[in-house]
Amino acid sequence: MFYSASAIFLYCLTTALGAVWISFAFTGLSGFTVTFFTLTIAFVIFSVIQKLKNKGKNIYWLSLLYPYRIFELNILTLFSWLFAFLALYNIEASIECALFQGALPLGVLLCELFSKKTKLLSLRVLGVSLITISLIILVVFRVRINQAAIDFTQQQIYLGAFLAFAGGISAGFYAYRSSGLYAKSRCSTMDILCNRFFLLILITGIIASQEIISIFSGEIELPFKLLILSLISVVIPVFALQYSIEKIGPARVSIITPTIPIIALAIEHFTAGWNSILIPASIGVTSLCLILANVWMKRK
């Protein structure tokens, strides 16, 4: 129990820390470049581990047997991860985490309503409705407050909020569609991880090709920082989350993960601080709504 609790705490901490670190320390690089490096490094690590575990087996077998489904997951991965990273250049990490985490269950709910797996009048719908209302209030407060942790323009705030929300919706769609592939192919999480990043790496690599080349021709410090960022924001969270789900189950995990925006908020407080209590209070309310919604969702 101690190890599983430590794992889920590590997931929440590293996810929040990675988001705040990007928003403060990597503004000199484009979001496409940061996304390319962090996800490429993570992809290589996942592939090497899977190859060592399954010697003699093609680790990309899912792409061969289910090409259309994998292509669909690649598109959703592109939108969810890229939008999440780009949002951090336009809005504070704590707000980005709240919007992303809040939009994710909405994406899953939309899929379930469309496939008629959930009734419109249910606790699940009520919970997601509460989350949506709290997110709207959070964005309104952030737009109205001129002095905040980072000085963003109103256009940046709107763009950041849209990207974070759209990324969360895409992540919800991904969670729903990938669950179907798990059931159909009986693949493992590592199998999916070795096949979901192709399109993201390709698109970001093409867009940021000039900057990527300049990074390799410069000092070694920056590539090393990007390696650490990949470990903190992608690799460690993925393994910690998977371990937690296996040990304590997705129900308990989903109740704890909404603390990510609060952790990001705490880190921001020590690095920059907020001049108004409205934003921290709104983030707290959003996280509380997420926890309540996740509890209600287990009751259907």
Domain range summary for the chain, segments of one domain joined by +: 2-297
- b/e map 269-300, b = 16+ CB within 10 Å: eeebebeeebbbebbebbbebbbbbbebbeee
Give CA–CA dist 49/33, Å, rounded.
24
The total of other beta-carbon atoms located within 10 Å of residue 138's CB is 24
Per-residue pLDDT tens digits for 44-63: 999 999 999 888 788 999 99
Give CA–CA dist 250/148, Å, rounded.
35
Amino acid at 206: I
pTM of the complete model: 0.88
Percent of the chain with pLDDT over 90: 35
Give CA–CA dist 269/277, Å, rounded.
11
CB-CB contact of 229 with 36 (8 Å): no
Per-residue pLDDT tens digits for 82-135: 999 999 999 988 889 989 988 888 888 888 888 877 777 777 777 778 888 888
> What confidence category does residue 300 fall into, taking pLDDT thresholds of 50, 70 and 90?
low
- pLDDT given at position 66: 93
- pLDDT given at position 164: 94
> What confidence category does residue 273 fall into, taking pLDDT thresholds of 50, 70 and 90?
low
> What sign does the dihedral 36-38-39-44 (CA atoms) show?
positive
- pLDDT given at position 206: 95
Question: Does 76 score more than 90 pLDDT?
Answer: yes
Residue whose C-alpha is closest to residue 289's, from 281, 161, 119: 281
Amino acid at 76: L
> What sign does the dihedral 11-13-19-22 (CA atoms) show?
negative
Structure tokens at 193: 């991880």
How large is the average pLDDT for residues 267-274? 75
